[in-house]
Amino acid sequence: MAELQEVQITEEKPLLPGQTPEVAKEAEIAARILLDRGQTHSVETPYGSVTFTVYGTPKPKRPAILTYHDVGLNYKSCFQSLFQFGDMQEIIQNFVRVHVDAPGMEEGAPVFPVGYQYPSLDQLADMIPCILQYLNFSTIIGIGVGAGAYILSRYALNHQDTVEGLVLINIDPNAKGWMDWAAHKLTGLTSSISEMILGHLFSQEELSGNSELIQKYRNIITHAPNLDNIELYWNSYNNRRDLNFERGGDITLKCPVMLVVGDQAPHEDAVVECNSKLDPTQTSFLKMADSGGQPQLTQPGKLTEAIKYFLQGMGYMASSCMTRLSRSRTASLTSAASIDGSRSRSRTMSQSSESGTLSSGAPGHTMEVSC
């Protein structure tokens, strides 16, 4: 494996004349982002080759963060805004990150030949062990969006012992029913593949608002040189099997799970239903206001805050290293996001902005942020 870059920036650096600690911190973050460009690898699997990019160095006794992106995107267009967000650096510097690109979605990917049998979502999940074996990583915390959230869930169902936690954004664990198929076929008569994928990623309100973000993603998807590959991933997503989650049943996620969805996002109902099927002692549900269909793009600050609590609940983030971060973000998260579950609020993860301290309940209990 190619050697990974360790970017060490010491805290004791003298400040430049006139430089405040805040400015120094921003400069440090900028330097870290610039220097760590990631190392891209490909491995062969029984279902074809898969490409992934590794940032940071493995940390002893810590899981890797492994991400899986949604249809129409790749790891960069899906996760860069989140992982390069300023406050996120305090979290991710403690973890090595493995960002998987679904086959044919990596930058510069050649178009698959006509008739190529693209892997099903279940087969994409079955490629993950090859990646972990190659890197010699034993456990992960998964962060997935849409199809990526489904793939990570399927992987977790098959490899419970290797998944320490999951952040699932916009997950729809159900196979398409005949009504969905009929609607999908009808839409397909009048819309292009790229418009259908945009309708999967963003709310109708966002699409008609045509903000700069929408224009950017419409442009990326419509002009993607690998649009034929994207259509294959899209078809696999639409042909997914039901994950068959069952509360109290055998088929369930055993690790701590944070479900995330934007309010009025296309998948809001599916995520709400998913929450009702998972183990309430292990699952937290974050419905994020003002975030549209892609909270990791539109609200990286609030999502960073939620991930921080999630990791802290799992015992991975000492509260001391998060005090600055939490102080600076409390108000915005409280005003616009609710972290809720369908159960008693008696055990909460709470934060007091007056003291600036954090206390956490066990992962999986209702999380509440207040100030």
Pick the closer one to ligand BEZ by CB: 57 or 80: 80
Binding of ligand BEZ by 310 (CB under 6 A): no
* Part of the chain binding ligand BEZ (CB under 6 A), chosen from 7-15, 80-88, 153-161, 320-328: 80-88
DSSP, collapsed to helix, strand or coil, labels residue 242 as coil
CA atoms of 307 and 310, how far apart (whole Å): 5
Least distance between ligand BEZ and beta carbon 76 (Å): 5
Instruction: Identify the DSSP state of 73.
Output: -
Crossing angle (nearest 10°) for helices 212-222 and 193-201? 140
- Take residue 162 and report the two structure tokens written for it: 């290797």
DSSP bridge pairs for 262: 288
CB of 167 to ligand BEZ, least distance (A): 14
CA distance 103 to 221: 16
Q: Which two tokens stand for residue 350?
A: 């709470």
Handedness of CA 125, 131, 132, 134 (dihedral sign): positive
> Is residue 97 at the binding interface for ligand BEZ, with CB under 6 A as the rule?
yes
Q: How far apart are CA 264 and CA 261, in angstroms?
A: 9
CB 41 to ligand BEZ: min, Å: 15
Nearer to ligand BEZ by Cβ, of 36 and 206: the residue is 36
CB of residue 13 vs ligand BEZ: minimum separation in angstroms?
21
Complex with ligand BEZ: residue 34 or 179, whichever CB lies closer: 34
Closer to ligand BEZ by Cβ: residue 86 or 356: 86
Least distance from ligand BEZ to the Cβ atom of residue 82, Å = 8
Structure tokens given for 210: 């045509």
- Residue carrying structure tokens 């979502």: 121
**Does residue 76 bind ligand BEZ (CB under 6 A)?**
yes
DSSP code string of 125-184: HHHHHHHHHHHT---EEEEEETHHHHHHHHHHHH-GGGEEEEEEES---SPP-HHHHHHH
Kindly tell me which of 39 and 323 has the beta carbon lying closer to ligand BEZ. 39
Told to check if 329 binds ligand BEZ by CB under 6 A, we report no
83 scored as a contact of ligand BEZ (CB under 6 A):
yes
Q: How many residues bind ligand BEZ (CB under 6 A)?
A: 9
Closest distance to ligand BEZ from the beta carbon of 120 (Å): 26
The CB-of-91 to ligand BEZ minimum distance in angstroms stands at 10
Q: Does 285 bind ligand BEZ (CB under 6 A)?
A: no
CA distance 356 to 319: 10
Confirm or reject binding of residue 62 to ligand BEZ (CB under 6 A): no
The answer to the question of residue 55 lying near ligand BEZ (CB under 6 A) is: yes
Choose between 80 and 357: whose C-beta lies nearer to ligand BEZ: 80
State residue 260 phi and psi, 5-degree precision.
-130, 135
Any alpha helices (H) in the chain, and if so which ranges? 21-35, 75-83, 88-92, 121-135, 147-158, 178-190, 193-201, 204-209, 212-222, 227-238, 268-277, 295-298, 300-313, 323-336
Residue 94 touches ligand BEZ, criterion: CB under 6 A: no
Residues near 331 by beta carbon (within 8 Å), at least 6 away in sequence: 353, 371
> Which residue lies nearer to ligand BEZ by CB, 81 or 282?
81
Q: Which stretch binds ligand BEZ (CB under 6 A): 79-87, 166-174, 302-310, 333-341?
A: 79-87
Task: Pick the stretch among 75-83, 122-130, 317-325, 360-368 that binds ligand BEZ (CB under 6 A).
Answer: 75-83
84 binds ligand BEZ (CB under 6 A): yes
Among 68, 79, 118, 245, binds ligand BEZ (CB under 6 A): 79
Is 52 a binding residue for ligand BEZ by CB under 6 A? The answer is no
Shortest distance, position 5 Cβ to ligand BEZ, whole Å:
11
Among residues 52, 66, 99, 233, which is the contact residue for ligand BEZ, using CB under 6 A? Answer: 99
Judge whether 168 and 153 are in contact, CB under 8 Å.
yes
Q: Applying CB under 6 A, which residues contact ligand BEZ?
A: 55, 76, 79-80, 83-84, 92, 97, 99
